Amino acid sequence: ESLALSMSFLDVGDVQRCGLVNRLWYSASQDNQVWGVFCQRLWQDKAYVPKRIRAMANGDARHAYAESLRDARRQHPTLEELLEFSWCFRFKKSAGPHWIQIDPYWSLDHKGSPIASTIIRKFKPDGTLERLDTHEALRSFSGEQKFKWTVRETTDGQEKYAKRIQVDHFPSYVTSRHPKNWGFLMQSCWVLWTSFPMPSQGHDKFLDDCHLEVRVDDQIEEVHRYNFGVHGHPGGDGDRMNRVVIETSNGPIIVPFAQLAQHLDLFAEDDDDDDDDDEDFDPDVTPDSNDDEGSAMLMDDDRKSRCAGGSGMDEEADEDDEDEDVFPDSTAMALEIDRI
């Protein structure tokens, strides 16, 4: 017992090596008390570890430790988990100044608190959203106008996970996992949901707009559909029946949405070409053929500065070497645990 207690102060790798000394040390290295301590250390800063895994730690903490590492690699919630959480909501800056101004995440003074005051909703089994906060902003999310939600896309395989959630006719929410605390995220190009209390600005770099993956360009067709009031979603059962009515001086014109979207994309490409032409020629700049590497460094610095400034959707996240591998040995560790 004293040997097992001593091992609980070591890390997992050291305990595994101790188990190779002899049978007595091997037995101590398998002690549930030792692995119970490891589970506590691993889970203490985690927003989510499934209840079945936490319960497993009471009888087989070593197996619970390995299972939690495996589960952390899963990127999408089950339907039961989606309904279980109280989801915190905020707009991304790409939604525009009007929505930022009425969003409590952005508009309230959190007085240095690491946790922001946010809109909170619960996804109900009947396909509605239940309001859990007291903020007046966006009461329509669960007020008289009941927005409906549905699982739009699931993973393949025997056990289904929710990859994409559709709420009313807004751009759909793509699910993912927080790389550090194992909580779940849902995001569109305009909004972010977290399955855990949302950190205030500056307290979690992984939730900064510039680090979030879903951008307007990724959902441009859904954005067009929302802005033109076209219900349904691309590829849906009634997709071919979607029409947009455009009022003109000669009367209304009914246009298939797919055709309209194609024209909008062509216009966007023309604008991009014009922008590229403007950037290619600057009479005040003398070209330097030997400065390719310096230009790349300047571009990288510019991306980092924009990300730090929180300017929104057009930035790409910079790579932080320190946090590049969130679970550097998790997979190998879980497999190694099972082999012992």
Beta-strand runs (E) in 43-161: 87-91, 119-123, 129-131, 149-154
Lookup result for tokens 């899963």: 74
**Over residues 184-212, mean pLDDT:** 96
84 has pLDDT over 80:
yes
**Over residues 289-303, mean pLDDT:** 39
- What is the model's pLDDT at position 112? 83
**Over residues 140-167, mean pLDDT:** 81
Tell me the C-alpha distance between 113 and 234, whole Å: 41
Beta-strand runs (E) in 169-231: 173-177, 184-187, 191-194
- What is the model's pLDDT at position 327? 33
Tell me the C-alpha distance between 83 and 48, whole Å: 14
151 has pLDDT over 90:
yes
- What is the model's pLDDT at position 217? 92
Could you give the strand order of the β-sheet that contains 149-154, starting from the edge strand earlier in sequence? 129-131, 119-123, 87-91, 191-194, 184-187, 173-177, 162-167, 149-154
**Over residues 52-78, mean pLDDT:** 94
- What is the model's pLDDT at position 200? 95
Q: Which residue from 126, 131, 127 is spatially nearest to 144, judged by alpha carbons?
A: 131
| Most confidently modeled range among 1-15, 23-37, 228-242, 261-275 | 23-37
- What is the model's pLDDT at position 279? 37
Q: Which residue from 210, 190, 206, 203 is spatially nearest to 305, judged by alpha carbons?
A: 210
Q: Quick check: helix, strand or coil at residue 252?
A: strand
Tell me the C-alpha distance between 147 and 130, whole Å: 10
**Over residues 152-166, mean pLDDT:** 90
More confident residue, 251 or 172: 172
195 has pLDDT over 90:
yes
69 has pLDDT over 50:
yes
Tell me the C-alpha distance between 163 and 158, whole Å: 15
- What is the model's pLDDT at position 196? 97
Residue 160 pLDDT grade (very low, low, confident, very high; cuts 50, 70, 90): confident
Tell me the C-alpha distance between 283 and 289, whole Å: 16
Residue 24 pLDDT grade (very low, low, confident, very high; cuts 50, 70, 90): confident
pLDDT digits (tens, 9 = 90+) for 254-284: 566 566 666 655 555 555 555 444 433 332 3
Nearest-5° Cα angle at 85, 173 to 203: 75
Over the range 198-213, which residues count as b (16 or more CB within 10 Å of their CB) and which as e?
Answer: bbbeeebbbbbbbbbe
Tell me the C-alpha distance between 24 and 3, whole Å: 9
Residue 290 pLDDT grade (very low, low, confident, very high; cuts 50, 70, 90): very low
Residue 242 pLDDT grade (very low, low, confident, very high; cuts 50, 70, 90): low
Decide: 199 and 184 in contact? Cβ < 8 Å.
Answer: no
- What is the model's pLDDT at position 139? 64
Tell me the C-alpha distance between 228 and 257, whole Å: 9
- What is the model's pLDDT at position 340? 40
Segment among 8-17, 283-292, 298-307 with least mean pLDDT: 283-292
pTM: 0.71
Q: Which two tokens stand for residue 46?
A: 């985690």
More confident residue, 240 or 18: 18
CA count, 13 A, side-chain hemisphere, 186: 26
